[in-house]
Each structure stands twice: as structure tokens, then as C-alpha cells.
Structure 1
């Protein structure tokens, strides 16, 4: 059983002996299943008496500078995905929020859990995705009726930043290998710039094995032989693809935890960012991803004991298999699953 989630390398609270200071954080429930899973997370955090309190920000307007300023006044936030129109309307509010908070790295940690039946066992992969550039830069325009340009932006500075974060996180977590995923065989300048930065950083970590893989092949390899991967670092769009693939391999979008992290702020949310409108309000959502994100958040705040208690209750509930949500083979509601976790924590 995996006992410890990721150790972070940015913005951690300084550790103080006997530290019992209450951490004030932002809570952004978001849309779809966001309010349900965020409610589950706060219930469990309350049950373990974690020294955190939340300022809830509902109906978030990412264009309101005062709201953004308020969020940034806290060291971290717990978040559900914000909904938006597909194929029309303004750009993604989730992307804009990450840009305004300058959380340049998205970390998705996908690992197998005892009690969840999947095609592959013993998977443990950390996906580190550049969060602010690439195809998600939001630079699109119609150059002629029926002809649209969408501009992919890759900078050496941004690539260097994410590469340094990936190797530092790998080093801190005793990981042996970093794989850079790209499409530089076609996008020679853009993805070539990304690779140039990663190669430069790789030289500074001679004890960590480094390899490169094209995104097409990486997608196939991740489904057929996921054990060859340890830490992967990649531009924005490829990170979305690989993160979703490996999350499916360990049980689905409700399982994996994630965080968007920068130099001054950390935004914790499920690793695959699914809004799941089709099951919203029905009590069917699996809160495992956001609970594990909450455990990551507790470690980030130097509260490892509370993270262990949360993980123990969650892992025990899943391994026993008596009370599970439908997506992992059970029939329990979100509330029933959460109650069972709390019961196991309090034993």
C-alpha cells in the first residue's frame, strides 16, 4: 500500500515543532459534481480535526480582480472544476484562473489502489504538465471566414521552469526516471524548444535516468506497459491526454489526485478535472480524487499526520470493498462512501 503521496518542492509551510496554527484556505466548489465532492472533502477534514478553515468562493468570476486578489491572499485552495461552454463563448475560466494565480505546474499522481479492479496492477506514475502555455494559451482568431488560427506558444523560460520542477520533485520523492513527452518530430521549433530546456535540466541530475518519447508512442506505451514510466514531464495538451489515460488505468477520473502549483500558491483539485455534468446532483460522484488531493494539500501545509489519517481511512474503505461508489464496483452514494471513510478513521 502506498503510504505517502508526493512531497512538494515549492511554497511549503515552514515546519515548526508542535505547530497547531490553523491554516486559512480558499474553497472553490465549482460546477457539476464539484460541490458534492468538495463537501465530502470538508466533511472528512472536519472528522480528522485538521487545523484548516475554508473561505468558500461560490459562483467564481475569474475576471473579478478583487476575487482573484482574495484567493491569492491564502496559501492554497481546494477546488472543483468550473464549467464553461464547448466550441463557443469565451476561453476556459479554469485556464484563466491558473494563469492569474501563476500556477505553472500541474501534478497528477496516478497509482493503483488495493480493492479497485483494473486491467493493470502496481501502477505508480507522476504526470507533470506545463500549465500555462502550449495549445491552451488561448490565442485564436479567424483570419478569413472559415479559416481559424490557434497559436501554440512554447517558451524556453516556461519549459525550463517545468523541467526544473519535474526533476526536483523526482529527486525529492526518490524517483529513478523522468520521461519527456513531445512531438518534436513534427513541431520541430515549438516542441524542440521544450526538449532543449528539459535536456539542459537533465544534465544537472545525473542520478536520474532521462528519456524522451513521442506523444503518439507514449499514449500506446502507457496503455500497454505503464510500468516503464515513473515521472513524465510534458507540455499542456499532451499532459491532458496522458493524465487521463493513466487515470483510467488505475480506476477512472474519480480516483487520481492533483495540484496546480506555483511559486506562491497551490490549487488542489482532482487530477483529471472532469466536471461530470451527467451525474451532478445524483449522489453518484466518487470523491477519492479530491480526498487524495486534500491529503496532498495537508502534506503541502506540513500536516503529514493528518494526511496519514485521511489516507488510512480512505484506503481501508476501498480495500474492504463493502461500501464503494458505482464507478469502482459498489452501489453506495457519495454520502454513504464518505460516511464509511469517516467511520474507519474514527475506529
Structure 2
């Protein structure tokens, strides 16, 4: 039995998390769900964004499936997501981006994965206000963090028979910081001679992705660039509602959809659960439950391709519950 922390979040979070939980349970996997919560709703009730019980559950189970969370303005947190990444050194933000049949987009053969360094860069949050007319932010790049995210990207590429890893940088301008990141990727690539290292400047990468995204297999990059490219790539396959995500460290992993909490449709049974369901499938893959993970992905793709039971943002008229039930009917577990 697996012990997994389940954080519903707020807004549409509880609805899409419940959808993912039902589908995961329908595979027959034995999970002890430890349900705790954080976010705006909890803050209004308890006066804290992240109660101690959340930290205790995460530290006990070390695996988390999390719904979208709203961070209230003025509470001292930049983001609960950033807090968890920093606190537990979840250094690898991993976002698979794959075209789903049935979703109309300009491209048909997108199947790439972004590895975003999750702990430093400009998102280190080191800023200084000198006066009303001048502010500075410090960009931190270290060899340790750069080497380990590059290693994760290459290990993934080798394990999944990917032929290319693209390191995205701006070393032509930021010669020391991005130069160090690029150098680390080059060093790591030497241990993987069968995998091609592509070196792409970030602005050129944006153009290449908009023109021919199928030429990339795995992308590894720094924190800010990864954040931007992840949303760009999500747009290529139909939006954030279709893209799963994971934040992985050496000892812990948090799986979550990358979209927001959409409070305007909360409680209306309208939310698209795809991204968090696929995040749950990523979690099962991480746990070694490969067949059950694949069964969920295949069922999601079949449901969307059939087009009968999909939510309105995907061009249908079904509810969250209807789409969830259709995915469960389409589950086929290989023996």
C-alpha cells in the first residue's frame, strides 16, 4: 500500500482532485490517501496558509498529489508552490507536453518534456530597492544545481529512448550565469554519447517552438526560461488544462496541474480535470506502476478523441463528473 498526501487546494481544486482520485482508485491500486489542505480557503478558516498537518503529512508520505492553490495577496508568501519547492528541495520541475488527438492545434507531432531547474535563477527572490527609481534582482546559478537538473534530463532521455536534449540559455549575453549552466549541460552530455546535445538561445527557442516544435524531445533550462517555455508549449497543444506537472527532489515528489484555481467556475461542475488526472498518471509512473499509469493516459486520450464526454473548454458540453466517469469506463489495465 502506498501512503500519499492529497491536497485538494481551493477554487476548482477539490473538484479536479476528486476526479483524479476516483480514476486512480479505479485502476485497483492500493493507496492510503492522507487528505490535508492549504491555500486561501484554509487561510480564511485558520489564519494560516499551510497548517502544520500539511508539512507533517508531506514529510511522512514523501509523495503528494496537489490541486491548484490560490495564494491570498498580502500574506507574506510569494507562492505556496515556491515555498514547497524551496523547503523540500524539489529541484526538478518536469512538464510533459504531448499532442492529444481530438484537440485542434496547428501541430500534430508534439511529444516533448521540459526539465526546469526549480530552486534558483532569478526566482531566488533576492531583490533590492535602492530608491524610487531603481531596483535590482540577483540571478543565482550554481554548478551543483545546474549539473543535477542536466543529469535528470539526460537520464530521462536515455530511459525513454529520446534522441536529443536541448539546453536553452542566453549565454551569449549572460556569459557567467547562463554560461555556467550551458557548460554544465555540456559536461553531463559527455556521459551520454548516444544523445545529441542541442544548444539553443532562449529567444530562438521561442521562435523554433512556434514554427516546428516536433524537432525537440527533451528541453532543459533555468528557472525563469523554463517557466515561460512551459506555458508556451502548453499553448501549442491546447492550453494549461491539458498539461501535467511534477516537482521532484531526491527524497520527495509533488505532482500537480500547472493551471490556476479558476475561482470563477468553482463548484459549478464545469472544470476540465485532464491536467490533474495526467499529473496523477505521472505519479503512478514515478511509483513504478507503469501499466496503471499508461492505462490512465490512454483512457484520457480516448475520451478526448471520442469527443462525446468532454468539458466545454475542450469544445464539448459535459460536466467534470461526466468526463470523469467516461474516463473510468475507458480504463483498460494490461495484465
- Structure 2 Cα separation of the partners of residues 131 and 196 of structure 1: 18
Deviation digits for residues 16-61 of structure 1 (CA, Å, limit 9, x no counterpart): xxxxxx1010011223322221111011122222211211111255
TM superposition shift of 1:223: 1.1
Aligned position for 2:285: 299
TM superposition shift of 1:346: 7.5
Aligned position for 2:308: 322
Deviation digits for residues 90-113 of structure 1 (CA, Å, limit 9, x no counterpart): 322210111112110011001111
Aligned position for 1:51: 30
- Structure 1 Cα separation of the partners of residues 157 and 116 of structure 2: 14
Aligned position for 2:44: none
TM superposition shift of 1:193: 1.2
TM superposition shift of 1:125: 0.7
Distance verdict in 2 for CA 1:67–1:146, change over 3 Å? farther
Aligned position for 1:265: 252
Aligned position for 1:28: 7
Moved over 4 A (4+): 60-66, 85-89
Does the CA-based 8 Å contact 2:115-2:226 persist in structure 1? yes
- Structure 1 Cα separation of the partners of residues 249 and 17 of structure 2: 22
- TM-score normalised over the length of structure 2: 0.91
Aligned position for 2:43: none
Alignment partner of 1:73: what SS? helix
User: Quick check: which one's helix share is greater?
Assistant: 2
Does the CA-based 8 Å contact 1:178-1:231 persist in structure 2? yes
Distance verdict in 2 for CA 1:64–1:153, change over 3 Å? farther
Q: 1:116 aligns with which of 103, 109, 113?
A: 103
Does the CA-based 8 Å contact 2:38-2:49 persist in structure 1? no
Aligned position for 2:295: 309
Unaligned runs of 5+ in 1: 1-21
Aligned position for 2:167: 180
Aligned residues: 325
Distance verdict in 2 for CA 1:315–1:212, change over 3 Å? same
Deviation digits for residues 178-199 of structure 1 (CA, Å, limit 9, x no counterpart): 0011112222211111111111
Unaligned runs of 5+ in 2: 40-47
Does the CA-based 8 Å contact 1:180-1:211 persist in structure 2? yes
Distance verdict in 2 for CA 1:279–1:184, change over 3 Å? farther
- Structure 1 Cα separation of the partners of residues 126 and 133 of structure 2: 17
- Structure 2 Cα separation of the partners of residues 152 and 340 of structure 1: 47
Does the CA-based 8 Å contact 2:284-2:293 persist in structure 1? yes
TM superposition shift of 1:127: 0.5
TM superposition shift of 1:85: 4.8
- Structure 2 Cα separation of the partners of residues 56 and 65 of structure 1: 13
Does the CA-based 8 Å contact 1:247-1:256 persist in structure 2? yes
Q: 2:230 aligns with which of 243, 251, 255?
A: 243
Name whichever of 59-68 and 151-160 sits farther off: 59-68
- Structure 1 Cα separation of the partners of residues 228 and 327 of structure 2: 31
Alignment partner of 2:95: what SS? strand
Coordinate RMSD, CA, aligned: 2.0
- Structure 2 Cα separation of the partners of residues 58 and 90 of structure 1: 16
Does the CA-based 8 Å contact 2:93-2:248 persist in structure 1? yes
TM superposition shift of 1:221: 0.9
TM superposition shift of 1:305: 2.7
Name whichever of 97-106 and 66-75 sits farther off: 66-75
- Structure 2 Cα separation of the partners of residues 150 and 281 of structure 1: 39
Aligned position for 1:16: none
Aligned position for 1:151: 138
Aligned position for 1:219: 206
- Structure 1 Cα separation of the partners of residues 215 and 292 of structure 2: 32
Does the CA-based 8 Å contact 2:34-2:57 persist in structure 1? no
- Structure 2 Cα separation of the partners of residues 213 and 332 of structure 1: 41
- Structure 1 Cα separation of the partners of residues 50 and 65 of structure 2: 19
Q: 1:190 aligns with which of 177, 199, 204?
A: 177
